[in-house]
Amino acid sequence: MRLIAGLLLGALSAVAAGRAAAAQTVAPTVAVPRAADAAFARARTLVTEGNGAAGRALVDSLLQAHPAGSPVWVEGLWWRAVLAEQAASAERDLLRLAVEHPVSPRAPEALMRLGQLELARGARDAAVRHFERLISDHPDSPLVAAAYAGKGRALIEGPRGAEGCVALAAARSRLTVAQVELRNQIEFAAQRCSGVEISDAHGAVPAPTAAAGREPSAPAVPPRTAPAAPAGPRVIVAAGTYPTRAKAAAQLRRVEAAGFEARVGLAGPGKYRVFVGEPMPRAEASALQRRLVAKRVTGVTLLVTR
C-alpha cells in the first residue's frame, strides 16, 4: 500500500518542475481557489507524515463538497489518486481524469502516472500506450519529454528496441536546461543504443561500423516496421446526467441550439443522460468535447463504451 503512494508521490517533484515550465508557456486555465489548493497541500503533508487516513479523508470531504466536473472536484480526483493506498483505486481515478476530463491541466499528469505505474509493474506495452497518448493528445505539455523518455525506457529492452532509441532521441531534443535528472536518465537508458545512430530528426539509422570499401556489417538493432497503433476504446461524449427526463430534454435543446446532434438516453435507474453523437475514437471525441465547451455547453464529459 505504501509502495503505490510512494510511486505516485515520488514523481511529484519532476512533474512540479514541468508545471513550472508550463506556467511560462501555456495559457492559464480555470484556477482552483486558494483555500482548496491549501487543503490539498495539507492532505499531501498528512500522508507524507504518516497520517494517510486523515489526508485521504480531507480529500474526500472536498470532493463531496463540490459538484462533479468543477475545478475543485477534478483537482480532488487527482489528489485522491495520488494519495490512494491501492493501485486499483489510483488507476481508476487517473483513468477518469484522462478519459472524462481530457482538457483538464491534470490530464497529462494522469497519463504520465498511469504509464509510470504500468512500467513499474513490468507492463511495458500498456505503459507505452499511456505515454503515446500523452504525446499525441497533449503535444504542448511540458511532460512530453518525460513521456518520450518513458516510452524509450519501456521499449529499449524488447523487440522494438530501435523505436525505443528514437523515442529517447525525441526526449533528449525536448529537454530544458533545468531537466538535469531527466537528462541523466535518458543518457543512461541510451547506452543500449550503441548500435543505432539517432539523427536530429528523430530517425534511427544503422550506426556505421565498416571501413571504406568493405561490406558493412548488420546493425546491432535491425530496422523494424512500427506496428499499427492499437484501436483503443470507443468513447462517447455526454452533456450531463439529470434526475428527470424533462431536465435532460432541456439540456438536449441547448445542445441542439448550439449546432450539435444529440439524444437522451437512460444512465441508470431514474437517471437520464444527454449523448452527443455516437461512440468514436478517443481523439475525435476529445475534439468534439472541445467544440462543445467552446459553444458554452456545460456538463460535457467523455465515457468509455468498450
pLDDT at 20: 42
Q: What is the mean pLDDT of residues 111-123?
A: 88
**Residue 203 pLDDT:** 45
Domain made up of 2-23+32-129: CATH architecture = Alpha Horseshoe (1.25)
Write out pLDDT tens, residues 194-224.
Answer: 766 554 444 444 444 444 444 444 444 444 4
Greater confidence (161 vs 93) lies with: 93
Least confident of 79-93, 161-175, 258-272: 258-272
Say what the pLDDT of residue 275 is: 86
Average pLDDT on 60-75 reads 93
Quick check: 123 pLDDT over 80?
Answer: yes
User: Please, which residues bridge with residue 263 across strands?
Assistant: 275
Every domain of the chain and the residues it spans: 2-23+32-129, 143-206, 234-304
- DSSP assignment, residue 158? S
Q: What is the largest CA-CA distance in the chain?
A: 81
Exposure string of 3-20, with b = 16+ CB inside 10 Å and e = fewer, is ebbebbeebeebbebbbe
Mean pLDDT of 236-251: 86
Chain-wide mean pLDDT for the chain? 78
For residues 228-247, average pLDDT: 75
Q: Tell me what pLDDT residue 30 has.
A: 55
* Most confident by average pLDDT, 2-6, 16-20, 111-115, 221-225: 111-115
Q: In terms of C-beta density within 10 A (0-12 exposed, 13-18 middle, 19 or more buried), how is residue 99 classed?
A: buried
Determine the Cα–Cα distance for residues 276 and 297; give it in Å rounded to an integer: 11
Q: Which fold has domain 234-304?
A: Alpha-Beta Plaits (3.30.70)
3-state secondary structure of 74: helix
- Quick one: pLDDT at residue 87? 82
C-alpha cell at 299: 456538463
Which helix (H) or strand (E) is 118 found in, with range?
helix 107-120
Q: Which three cell numbers stand for residue 273?
A: 443522460
Q: What is the mean pLDDT of residues 259-263?
A: 83
**Contact of 89 with 82, CB cutoff 8 Å:** no
The helix (run of H) or strand (run of E) holding residue 279 is strand 271-281
297, 65 in Cβ contact below 8 A? no
Look-up of cell digits 510511486 = 7
Residue 195 has a pLDDT of 61
Given a cut of 70, whether residue 12 has pLDDT beyond it is no
| CA 292/CA 298 separation, integer angstroms | 8
Which residues does 123 contact at the CB level (< 8 Å), separation at least 6? none
CA distances from 188 to 32, 73, 129, 192, 207 (A): 38, 39, 23, 8, 19
pTM: 0.58
> What are the pLDDT digits (tens) for 25-46?
333 345 788 999 999 999 999 9
Helix (H), strand (E) at residue 239: strand 234-242
Nearest to 43 by CA among 88, 18, 78: 78
Query: Distance of CA 26 to CAs 22, 68, 76, 140, 213, Å?
Result: 5, 25, 22, 8, 52
Looking at 76-80, 124-128, 298-302, which range is the least confident one? 298-302
Q: Which one, of 84, 90, 62, lies nearest residue 74 by Cα?
A: 62
What whole-number distance in Å separates Cα of residue 202 and Cα of residue 220?
18
Residue 84 has pLDDT above 60, yes or no: yes
Greater model confidence, 63 or 121: 63
On the question of pLDDT at 226 being above 90, the answer is: no
The pLDDT of residue 283 is: 83
